Amino acid sequence: MKNIEIKENIFEHFEKFIPLSENLKFELEKRLKYIVFKKGEIVLDANRVCTESYFIHKGILRTYFFKDGKEISEYFCGINEWVNSPKSFMQRKKDIYYIDAIENTEAYFINVNDLVFLFNNFPEMERYARLSMGSAFGHLMERIVSIRFTSAKERYHHFQKTYSDIYHRIPLGMVASYLGITQETLSRIRAEK
């Protein structure tokens, strides 16, 4: 029963962008696979090519990289969001990004070859990708502007707004690395009212 509920959830997500024919639903159902990640589990290691994209039903996944031996959080994904290492997924090459589960996470995943099949056989899937990626691109541009032109306090408030549904569930060390500040600075900002 739970699997049917989750599939209906992902179909609802697609239908926010495109109409789903019965044929497309059938092909999606055939290609989408259910997976559960335990808190702390590595979803993607940067030492391998990203061949799957994950749609989160429950939980939070984080994309990060290492710089000078420290983890730098790049972005977080929660319910009804897709996550992968975009460059690795598209170019089928290794990239710098790791993905891990911040909490127990239920997701669907699709292999890149299955996605190519859907794009080749269902033109509406390209429309879906364009519309949903437009949203992700807008978020990325906001992040760049925030990092370049705002104070630490403004970046934190932007983070709270961007991740309003999940920010309180993300460990502070990960939040600080995402914001490009120390955990002490983050604690000071959070203490201010």
Instruction: Average pLDDT across each block of 10 residues of the chain; the chain has 193 residues. List them in order.
Output: 64 91 93 95 95 94 94 91 90 94 96 94 91 72 77 90 91 93 92 78
| Alpha-carbon gap, residue 17 to 125, rounded angstroms | 9
| Alpha-carbon gap, residue 8 to 5, rounded angstroms | 5
- The predicted structure's pLDDT at residue 115: 93
- The predicted structure's pLDDT at residue 1: 39
- The predicted structure's pLDDT at residue 5: 58
| Alpha-carbon gap, residue 163 to 170, rounded angstroms | 10
| Alpha-carbon gap, residue 20 to 58, rounded angstroms | 23
The verdict on pTM exceeding 0.85 is: yes
CATH 2.160.20.10, domain 2-122, yes or no: no
